[in-house]
Amino acid sequence: MRRSKNGLAGEAAKAMKTMNPFLSGSDPQERIGAVAMMLRSTMKNPAITAKAASRIASDSAKIMMGQSDRAADPRDRRFKDSAWSENPFYKRGMQAYLSTQEHLNDWVANLSMTELEHARAKFLTSMITDAMAPTNTLLGNPAASKKVMESGGMSLLKGLKNAYTDITKNGGLPSQVDKRPFQVGKNLATSRGKIIWKNEMLELIQYEPTTDKVHRTPILIVPPQINKFYAMDLSPAISMVQFLMAQQMQTFVVSWRNPQKEHAHWGMSAYVDSLIQASEVIRNVTRSKKVNIAGACSGGITAATLASLFAAAGDDRINSLTFMVCVLNPQREDSELGQIVSDQSLEVARKYSKRKGVLKGDDLARMFAWMRPNDLVWNYVVNNYLMGEDPPPFDILFWNNDSTNLPAQLHSDYLDMGLNQPFSHPGEFEVAGHAVDLSKVTADAFVVGGLTDHITPWKACYRTTQLLGSENVEFVLSSSGHIQSLLNPPGNPKARMFRNSDIPADADTWAAQAKEEVGSWWPVWGQWLKDRSGTLKAAPRTCGNETFPALYEAPGRYVFDD
């Protein structure tokens, strides 16, 4: 990435150091440094440490004597078993753990440290205390101990077998899903379609219409480069592809190739160039001058770069833009991991992927898991090893575990974008061969965030509304997390969303005026797309055309690359 001549270097240096947690890598030296920093601060603040120790001791005495009324949060699934409230041994163990956790957090909060040091200390302390939970041990988990007795020890043997399998075949992390019931192309990614164009980086899928008529303006979905495309086409009940076709949309989806070491040079410029070519194919096949573009997660970053490039060239082929759970303008406070990332860790991550050629999908999955260890690590340790159960079969988790690699150059480009913040500094930095300026992008935009999203926090997603030059922008806040917000079909009884037709500069102001609505955001988006996709015409009888004939059946071949 090159800075254009009119840039202000000082502002970029103050920006957040990472676009998303998966970009930063992991530096063991920084974790060691965080421990050393906490020890130094402890020595400088002996009174604070002594006060915390005194509180722990006082609480412990009450707990041992049965005089404590401390109880777990009702939402904490770890302590649902009745033994935690009825059995004195387990109850005291739980209370001791919760007391220690609370006082350690208070101790860290009161230490004299900088904001960055506090964030690192809090993150490290949280990981330690989560690991210390009594539920993570056989002796401390009443349900697991009961299961051993009831099964005559077989649950323990099955747990040891599961642990061995994960150590040898899953990189040491507990398996999150039983993969056996699922097969891509058989019961996942089953929508009928054809690959009508491909290059070494992507396959372009055109889906066969399911209605007699279709809107003239097609839609192209750009999935994230760190996952396989079929999140958009899981089972028919939660298939975004099926939903769009039911809305009479001509639907195209990119299937990215899983890069290997020899593709280390693939960067943002190459990905954007491939999307330009794909858009030309779509325009030729559909005879439409315009294309609706929808980008999800990191695919939205690529789509935004593409839109900026077209705007800079005076090319108005993009009819509308949709950004789904995508952050273009991150801030340090958006996530815990974002707060602790330093320049050193960024360079370590950059050098690591450059040396390896790719950032492996397993490494990315591990990093995401440790962002939510109770839900994504310890929960499965208990289920798989202590209880001796297989993880559940779940299509979304199957897809989530079917991860892909990130080429070194694209990883480096993402790091530069996180450092320089090109989208929030219009015209200041060059990406993919042009000075990025989303204020020149005037296509109507639809932006979606997830209320409980820990990967792309909704307030960070909301900032996209302020970057575009579009007169018509809609923001919808789904009530779910990252994946659940994206895959949110009609008919989900738990689905909720928040809407506000006004788009103020501040996310909190928007939220204060937003109204909660029952249901999925998909129908809202579907109507929004229909209103912007032209008149109806007879649906094509075949995929492709004479210039770009169908090559082979969807879901294609790249989706099967390991």
In this predicted structure, what is the pLDDT of residue 336?
59
Residue 127 pLDDT exceeds 60: yes
Give φ, ψ of 474 to 5 degrees.
-120, 135
In this predicted structure, what is the pLDDT of residue 103?
87
The Cα-based distances of 273 to 106, 278, 296, 517 in angstroms read 51, 9, 18, 40
Mean of pLDDT values over 21-35: 49
Residue 257 pLDDT exceeds 50: yes
In this predicted structure, what is the pLDDT of residue 11?
30
Residue 515: both structure tokens together: 């109204």
In this predicted structure, what is the pLDDT of residue 3?
46
Catalytic residue annotation = 297
CA–CA dist 488, 239 (Å, integer): 9
401 against 531, higher pLDDT: 531
What is the side-by-side strand order in the sheet with 434-435? 2-3, 429-431, 434-435
CA–CA dist 479, 450 (Å, integer): 6
The Cα-based distances of 393 to 382, 385, 388, 390 in angstroms read 17, 17, 15, 9
Residue 559, C-beta contacts closer than 8 angstroms, at least 6 positions apart? 184, 185, 189, 228, 229, 230, 255
Q: pLDDT tier at 50 (50, 70, 90 boundaries)?
A: confident
Residue 320 host element (H or E)? strand 318-324
Mean of pLDDT values over 252-271: 97
Query: What mean pLDDT value characterizes the chain?
Result: 88
Amino acid at 247: Q
**Cβ atoms 521, 458 nearer than 8 A:** no
| pLDDT tens-place string over residues 441-499 | 999 999 999 999 988 999 999 999 999 999 999 999 999 999 999 999 999 888 999 99
| pLDDT tens-place string over residues 289-307 | 999 999 999 999 999 999 9
Q: pTM of the prediction?
A: 0.86
Residue 45 pLDDT exceeds 80: no
**Cβ atoms 330, 419 nearer than 8 A:** no
The helix, strand and coil proportions of the chain, stated in percent and rounded to the nearest 5, come to 50, 15, 35
Residue 194 host element (H or E)? strand 193-198
CA dihedral 338, 343, 348, 351 (to 10 degrees): 110
Residue 43 pLDDT exceeds 70: no
Pairing of strands 193-198, 552-553: antiparallel
Q: pLDDT tier at 56 (50, 70, 90 boundaries)?
A: confident
Residue 21 pLDDT exceeds 60: no
| pLDDT tens-place string over residues 324-383 | 999 999 887 676 555 556 666 677 778 888 888 988 877 777 777 777 788 888 999 999
Residue 249 pLDDT exceeds 90: yes
Using left for φ > 0, alpha for ψ between -120 and 50, and beta otherwise, residue 457 falls in: beta
